[in-house]
Structures are given as C-alpha cells and as structure tokens.
C-alpha cells in the first residue's frame, strides 16, 4: 500500500497556530494567578492592586514618606539631595535609578503601584488617571495636607502592609507636630512674628500664604508678609526690594540654596540692598536646615515636619517649649532610619557651619542664580 507522508514544512505551518494559541493560553493562565484586591485611595478612587505589593514607584513629594514607610519597596529616586547629605541615606536608596514622572521611565521600572502624594483636587485626580492610563499601573493618591498626616500614614500602612511602622510615625506626629498646630491657634495676632520666606538665587522669590511651599509659616503661627500672586506648581513668585522694604518682616528665613555653598544666604548676606532691611541688618536672618533634604519645602513631603519643629522653636521658643534636639534625633531614626551621632546632629541643625559661617554672618561669595524646583 502506498503511504502519503506530509511535507514537514506544511506540517509546521499547520501546527504553528496551535502552538501560538497554546502559549497565549499559558500566558493568560499565569496572569490570572496573580492575587489582587480592591482598595480605595484618599481621593475615593477604587483601584485593583496586587495583594502582595513588592515594587512601588513614587512621585517627588511622596518619595520622602515612602522612604520612611517601606524603603525596600522603592524602585526609583526622584529627589535632588543636598551635597554632603548622601551619608544620611541608605546605600540601597542611593543606588536606585533616578526617574521623575516620565511614563516611559515608569514602565521600564515595572512597578506594581504608583504612589501620588499631593494635594487632592479635580486637577490632580485627572493627572493620576492619565498617568495610570499611560503606564497601565494603578496610581494610588495620598493627601499631602500636613493636618491629615495621621490619616495619610495609616492609609499607606494598610496599603503596603507596614502598619507597625506607620503607627510609630503617627505617634511621632501626635507627640511633636499636632501640639504645634494646637498652640499656634492660641497665639494672638498682636504677637505673631512677620516672616519673609526668601527663595531663588537672590532671595527675591517667595510664596504667599495659602501655598503648600510656605504652609509651615501659617501652621506654626507666623504671619507670611508676602502679598503676591500664588503660582501653582513650583511657585516662586518674583518680588522687588521695594516691596520687601514695605513689608518689613521681623524675620527672614532662607531656602536651602544650592548644595553646601548655600548660594541664596550668601547673596542676601553680602548685598548692600538687602542690608537696608532691618531684619537682615540686625541679623534676624536664618538659613533653613537642608540635610538630607530641605526641611521646609522642595520637596513638600514629610520633611516639613522637621521644618515646622525648627520654625516653631525659632519664632516662639517661649510658647512651644520643644525639646528640639530630641525631636530631630527621633525623626531621623524613624523617618530616615538613621541614628544620628551628637556631631551629626549639630551638623544638620547648623547648616552654616559647613561653610565656615554663623547664623549672623557669612562671607559673600555669590555663585549666581542657581535656583531649581525640587
């Protein structure tokens, strides 16, 4: 009997679709085996996330709080670190790739979840939805309002399975931060210190009351003298020296400047025009601590807790009676996972010591306008 043998190439053509279908079916089976759960973020958005979250991408302000809650889950860095501050952060964190918002960058990092730590409003909700659509990754929104930190921390603890850590963070807020807010409301207007927040390379940029960049001033009972337009995003409304002389603040506080040179403080301290301002002439000008990140702003993350403690102690030591050094040490231990030596404590509390100056005087060596938004 004559046997018909099928041509091998024809056989392969017939079998290939079956093989592809089989592989697709296997792939789908793997995906369906991933356990998921339903969660609700602080914007009220319902999301489906993995039951066991292992990789988390965070936007800028949220990077600080995610480092406190679960540094081992982080897949990116998104923050500029003040020069000389690397020693305060873990080696694992410093080795993370730098990525700051690009959908393409996020996709390459394969996160299970994106944390968006920001003001919650229709615009930010729309942006979160858009980012999730671009990346295919759920975006969980957490409120950055300082008066809601306890709720924000509790939400993140439940989401990431780190309730023990976030409970400790909540206790810290209730011990050190909430009492500041309570006492601030008791300071009469007649006793409130008038504060100018000097930003930008020459100090002639600022943010008014109502901006999250300058929120700490209001929360500890100061009066923000800036009467300028509130700019969304990075802020930094421009002002003139004439305006500043009219406002005549009691105290000038200076942003972190750029790195160890503290450019902004140098430029203000050495400028004869600034010397016309009584607060500068009488040495009521103070550099905001900036290690490992600015304590006041940029990023407007949980580092602002330190900024609130610092400013409250600076403006009203007789009202708040803060054990300042203890509060700072405890914060570093809990939020930065770093035990400070006594020498390191003095280093972070006295930013001008690294450039050979004092809080009142510093040699003027302007480095130009190096402002940035962080």
Share of the chain above pLDDT 90, in %: 75
Share of the chain above pLDDT 70, in %: 84
At 70-84, the pLDDT tens digits run 999 999 998 877 778
Q: Is the pLDDT of residue 4 over 90?
A: no
> What is d(CA 257, CA 199) in angstroms, rounded to the nearest whole number?
8
Segment 267-295 shows an average pLDDT of 95
Whether the pTM exceeds 0.75: the reply is: yes
149: preceding bond cis by omega (within 30 degrees): no
Given strand 113-118, what is the order of strands in its sheet? 56-58, 113-118, 139-143
Residue 121's Cβ-count burial label (10 Å; 0-12, 13-18, 19+) is exposed
* Structural domains present in the chain: 36-161 (3.40.50.1980), 175-355 (3.40.50.1980)
Segment 185-214 shows an average pLDDT of 95
Give strand ranges (E) for the chain.
36-40, 46-50, 56-58, 113-118, 139-143, 194-198, 205-206, 223-224, 237-238, 251-254, 285-287
At 76-119, the pLDDT tens digits run 998 877 778 899 999 999 999 998 878 999 999 999 999 999 99
> What is d(CA 248, CA 109) in angstroms, rounded to the nearest whole number?
49
């Amino acid at each position: 009997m004559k046997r018909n043998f099928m041509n091998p190439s024809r056989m392969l053509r017939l079998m290939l679709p079956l093989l592809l279908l089989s592989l697709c079916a296997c792939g789908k089976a793997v995906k369906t085996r991933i356990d998921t759960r339903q969660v609700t973020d602080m914007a009220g958005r319902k999301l489906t996330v993995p039951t066991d979250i292992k990789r988390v991408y965070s936007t800028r302000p949220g990077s600080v709080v995610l480092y406190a809650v679960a540094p081992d889950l982080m897949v990116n860095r998104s923050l500029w670190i003040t020069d000389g501050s690397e020693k305060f952060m873990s080696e694992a964190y410093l080795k993370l790739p730098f990525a700051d918002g690009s959908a393409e960058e996020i996709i390459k990092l394969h996160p299970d979840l994106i944390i968006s730590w920001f003001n919650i409003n229709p615009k930010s909700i729309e942006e979160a939805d858009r980012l999730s659509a671009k990346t295919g990754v759920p975006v969980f929104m957490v409120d950055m309002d300082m008066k809601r930190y306890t709720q924000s921390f509790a939400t993140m603890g439940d989401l990431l399975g780190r309730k023990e850590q976030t409970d400790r963070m909540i206790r810290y807020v209730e011990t050190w931060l909430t009492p500041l807010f309570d006492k601030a409301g008791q300071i009469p207007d007649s006793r409130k210190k008038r504060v100018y927040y000097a930003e930008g390379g020459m100090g002639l940029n600022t943010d008014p009351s109502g901006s999250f960049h300058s929120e700490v001033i209001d929360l500890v009972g100061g009066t923000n003298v800036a009467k300028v337009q509130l700019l969304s995003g990075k802020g930094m409304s421009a002002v003139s020296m004439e305006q500043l002389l009219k406002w005549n603040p009691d105290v000038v506080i200076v942003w972190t400047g750029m790195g160890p040179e503290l450019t902004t403080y140098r430029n203000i301290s050495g400028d004869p025009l600034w010397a016309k301002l009584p607060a500068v002439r009488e040495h009521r000008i103070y550099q905001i601590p900036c290690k490992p990140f600015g304590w006041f702003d940029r990023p407007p993350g949980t580092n602002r807790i330190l900024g609130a403690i610092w400013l409250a102690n600076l403006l009203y030591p007789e009202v708040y009676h803060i054990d300042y050094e203890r509060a700072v040490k405890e914060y570093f231990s809990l939020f930065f996972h770093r035990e400070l030596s006594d020498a390191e404590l003095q280093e972070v509390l006295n930013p001008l010591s690294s450039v050979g100056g004092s809080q009142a005087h510093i040699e003027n060596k302007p480095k130009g306008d190096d402002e940035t938004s962080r």
